Amino acid sequence: MSPPLDIRGFRFFPGFLDRPAQEALVNVLRDLLRNAPLYQPVTPRGQKMSVRMSAAGRFGWVTDRRGYRYEPRHPGGMDWPPIPEEVLAIWRAVSGATREPECCLINWYGEGARMGLHQDKDEADFSCPVVSVSLGDEGLFRMGNAERGGKTESIWLKSGDVVVMGGDARLKHHGIDRIRFGSSTLLPQGGRINLTLRVVT
């Protein structure tokens, strides 16, 4: 594992998960998604997002015509499954937080999917970081500022990389401009899985 990098306040842990750990985590997520299937969210304006989502933990982050928020149940009506221990171990290793995450958001990026610049600001405690885990195809991660606009910087995230968004970076805008579809052999059909761990309350 390479030493962490600090870029604009974002802490990067390149290659935090080796290939066997990535494969084991994908198997855990497959079991989880059988109980809480991926779905395609809709923004409050009625636009379908290009990523598909699910979650684990006490809460899942959802978006629909009613707005952006955390909910204790999947849109299908079932409770979210618990956050797997393999995922919690990553949080404990890199977050520096005394609290455990209450949500593990699961985003799946297929070919052509992206995530526009946004802030994670629906949580109550901004002293706790957001921890991001990348699996599968490489994604071009763009980092902005606390306010919209201004200079941005980008870095390619590879499978097994972990990013910690805390401190000065906690409320900075960030997003995924595109993925290199087929750049990884981790997922047989291609695509990228991104896990983001958050303290909600």
Please, what are the domains in the chain?
Answer: 5-198 (2.60.120.590)
- How many CB atoms are located within 10 Å of the residue 55 CB? 25
Q: What are 78-103's pLDDT values in tens digits? A: 999 999 999 999 999 999 999 999 99
Give the pLDDT of residue 46. Answer: 86
Could you tell me which of 159, 154, 195, 160 has the C-alpha nearest to residue 178?
154
Structure tokens at 15: 């290659």
DSSP strand pairing (130-136 vs 103-109): unpaired
Confidence band, pLDDT 50/70/90 cuts, at residue 175:
very high
Give the 3-state secondary structure of the chain: CCCCEEECCEEEECCCCCHHHHHHHHHHHHHHHHHCCCECCECCCCCECCCEEEEEECCEEEEECCEEEEECECCCCCECCCCCHHHHHHHHHHCCCCCCCCEEEEEEECCCCCEEEECCCCCCCCCCCEEEEEEECEEEEEECCCCCCCCCEEEEECCCCEEEECHHHCCCCEEEEEEECCCCCCCCCCCEEEEEEECCC
Residue 159 or residue 49, greater confidence: 159
Give the pLDDT of residue 149. Answer: 87
In this predicted structure, the answer to whether residue 109 has a pLDDT above a threshold of 90 is yes
User: Which amino acid appears at position 32 of this protein?
Assistant: L
Give the pLDDT of residue 198. Answer: 96
Q: What are 110-142's pLDDT values in tens digits? A: 999 999 999 999 899 999 999 999 999 999 999
Q: Does the pTM of the predicted model rise above 0.75?
A: yes
Give the pLDDT of residue 4. Answer: 86
Give the pLDDT of residue 2. Answer: 67
Give the pLDDT of residue 1. Answer: 61
What's the average model confidence in pLDDT over 157-168? 96
Name the residue with tokens 């684990």: 56
Burial of 11 (0-12, 13-18, 19+ CB in 10 A): buried
Q: What are 28-76's pLDDT values in tens digits? A: 999 999 999 999 988 888 888 999 999 999 999 988 888 889 999 999 9
